[in-house]
Amino acid sequence: MIVERPADLRRKKFFAHGFMICFLILIMFPFFVIVSISLREGNAMSSASLVSQAGWASLAKLLPQNPTLEHWYLAFGLDYTRADGTVVEPPYPVMLWMWNSIKIGVIAGIGVLSVATISAYAFSRIRIRGKAALLDGLFLIQMFPTTLALVAIYAIFDALGEVSPFLGLDSHVALILIYLSGVTLHIWTIKGYFDGVDTALDKAAAIDGATPWQTFRFIFLPLAVPIMAVVFVLAFIGFINDYPIASVLIRSESQMTLAVGSRLYLNEFRYLWGDFAAAAILSGLPITVVFLIAQRYLVSGLGDGAVKG
């Protein structure tokens, strides 16, 4: 382990890289194939053509034979005119779904961020009676996934919809309200960050006569900008990825978010594999990139925030 023979080391390196590359090829397979499918003609390979060519030769089918941008036009919501003159219309409003997702994600993200930051500051710095019990309670409640209360959520918003459709099923407001409940995890993350801030800062502020609110507003808030950015991105991605709640509350096609709408593509009766591939890349790519940038902070945030009790 400390001193290794060069031959041994070379062999080990060879195996390590070999393993990594084989594993990566396996893991990356869906990414390669989905790109190829998005450029392929038609929406599904006919099973007849599959059978006709057995053996290695049929593997060539994984690559597009006559590459076409048809699926990409449709994903962007544009009509596509095929070579024979037929015009294909987009099957689903992907761009609208994306806009719905982004709108809901941003509004709910801002809501969660403001509530979480203020609460985290109070939990970290202000003496409140019963704080420890409250923190433990929040922690326990947060472990109950909201998805388990779907029946009640449906019943509640179904009833509220009779008061005002604005608050009922199929309304983005309802979805945003429910998403606000995801605040607890983020309170812990930001609290972990605030706990690490030197107490000399707020003592100095208190001596200068600042109220706790002023201390928060002028000292902690500016300090928290980086962690707030991370929490916002995480909350945003979480909301965009939500399927169960959105699928229960949103029923009409024009109100759907991406997560709910994407499912329509692979319906047994209308199987749009090629159209789905292009739409999936189009909508998945931005989220993936944002996540890759934010992920460095994710794990430290999750680990620290949860453990620093």
Q: Is 76 in the site for other proteins (CB under 8 A)?
A: no
Segment 84 to 103, residues that bind other proteins, using CB under 8 A: none
Whether 215 contacts 202, CB under 8 Å: yes
Segment 146 to 205, residues that bind other proteins, using CB under 8 A: 146-156, 159-160, 162-163, 177-178, 180-181, 183-184, 187, 199, 202, 205
CB of 203 to other proteins, least distance (A): 8
When the beta carbons of 43 and 68 are compared against other proteins, the nearer one is 43
CB of 86 to other proteins, least distance (A): 22
When the beta carbons of 20 and 79 are compared against other proteins, the nearer one is 20
d(CA 138, CA 56): 57
Choices 59-67, 72-80, 89-97, 221-229 (CB under 8 A): range interacting with other proteins: 59-67
Residues near 218 by beta carbon (within 8 Å), at least 6 away in sequence: 205, 210
How many other CB atoms sit within 10 Å of the CB of residue 12?
A: 11
Residue 112 C-beta-side C-alpha neighbours within 13 Å:
33
CA angle 79, 264, 182 (to 5 degrees): 115
Q: Which of 78, 95, 107, 118 binds other proteins (CB under 8 A)?
A: 118
Q: Is 134 in the site for other proteins (CB under 8 A)?
A: yes
Segment 238 to 257, residues that bind other proteins, using CB under 8 A: 240-241, 243-244, 247-248
When the beta carbons of 74 and 177 are compared against other proteins, the nearer one is 177
Choices 75-83, 90-98, 130-138, 225-233 (CB under 8 A): range interacting with other proteins: 130-138
Q: Is 133 in the site for other proteins (CB under 8 A)?
A: no
